[in-house]
Amino acid sequence: MHWFKQRWEIQQNWQLLYPFIGILAVLYTAYKLALVCFKTHIIYTIISTIATSIALVYFVLWLFKRLKNKWQVTYRWQMIRIFIVFAITGSLSLVVSKPIFEILGFIKENFNSHSLLLILYYILKIILVLPFYIILLIFFGWLLNEFEFFYNFASKMLRRFGIKLK
């Protein structure tokens, strides 16, 4: 355990929560991906889940190496916290915006008549989900004590769209 704490630069035991949540998220993601391919075969699902989990862990560790200096985080466990905020925000922004879109009649079935309309639907959906995403990103960043990082990240994202917060 000492090696693990030292590797992830963990000073207090409560910080172990972030790697634990990260491992659970990787396992859940790998399981859901395995179900896409092997719904009926439990053995194949288990083997695929294990293999995908290992691949995802290597991918995430590679991302840590690339992004730690770019994002200028102090500790490695903060990277996990940042990834958790991105995961929660990405999923929740779609969940929050879906009922609003349905009330407005902005549903996929209304755009299925032509393939170009379907492409337009997805482009508009990305544009319309963006405000929910940014608000949730800053909120969950604040909630998990990474407000400054996510405020700067959201500001940079909005500047790329031609919108300035300051």
3-class SS string, 4-42: HHHHCCCCCHHHHHHHHHHHHHHHHHHHHHHHHHCCCCH
- Token representation of residue 51: 């293999």
Kindly list the distances between the CA atom of residue 55 and the CA atoms of 61, 114, 138, in Å, as whole numbers in the listed order: 10, 38, 30
* Res 58: pLDDT: 92
d(CA 102, CA 15): 40
pLDDT digit string (tens) for 75-116?
888 888 898 999 899 889 888 888 888 888 888 787 777 778
Read off the pTM.
0.76
pLDDT digit string (tens) for 128-150?
888 889 999 999 999 999 999 99
- Token representation of residue 118: 């379907």
